[in-house]
Amino acid sequence: MTSSRIDQSVAVEDDPPLLLPDEDYLQGPYYEGARLPSPSGGFLMVLGVRPIDEGSGSGSILLECTASSLRYQMIVPKATRSERKKVRDMIDDGSDPKCPRHRGQFLTRIRHDLACPMCGVRYAKAK
Ligand SMILES: [Zn+2]
């Protein structure tokens, strides 16, 4: 007898995540740390956050639906000019910079940039 659990996880890994049809609507609750309703019922759990590519500055969030186990990708828009300025001001003040979108979330260094581990967006160059 083969284990169906293993077969299932292999199948899921092979499927590319679906793009969320209404990601703009989900970004507000995501920044607030609220539960995200899934398009296929249930809720979306965060599986991982990563910056997209070096040049874009946007973030990508991998989500899994609690009801259907479908995986979705949410693209988080890159930092605006005023968000970058906020972060630069925090650095200039000598404090540890926080994400302008996530309350109380510190930025972490990813290669040459300071990015938010919750949204994957780069907000400043690391020194
Ligand atoms: Zn963030």
71 vs 127, residue with greater confidence:
71
Residues around the ion ligand 1 (C-beta < 5 A):
99, 101-102, 116, 118-119
Exposure b/e, 39-56, CB count within 10 A at least 16 = b: beebebeeeebebbeeee
pLDDT, tens digit, 9 for 90 and up, residues 47-82: 999 888 767 789 999 999 999 999 999 999 999 999
What radius of gyration do the chain's Cα atoms show? 17
Boundaries of every domain in the chain: 4-76, 81-125
pTM of the model: 0.78
User: CA 110, CA 49: separation in Å to the nearest integer?
Assistant: 12
Taking the centre of ligand 1 as the mean of its atom positions, its distance from the CA of residue 116, in whole angstroms, is 5
Share of the chain above pLDDT 70, in %: 88
Taking the centre of ligand 1 as the mean of its atom positions, its distance from the CA of residue 63, in whole angstroms, is 16
Q: What pLDDT score does 51 carry?
A: 84
Place of tokens 């499927």: 15
DSSP lists the bridge partners of residue 62 as 48, 73
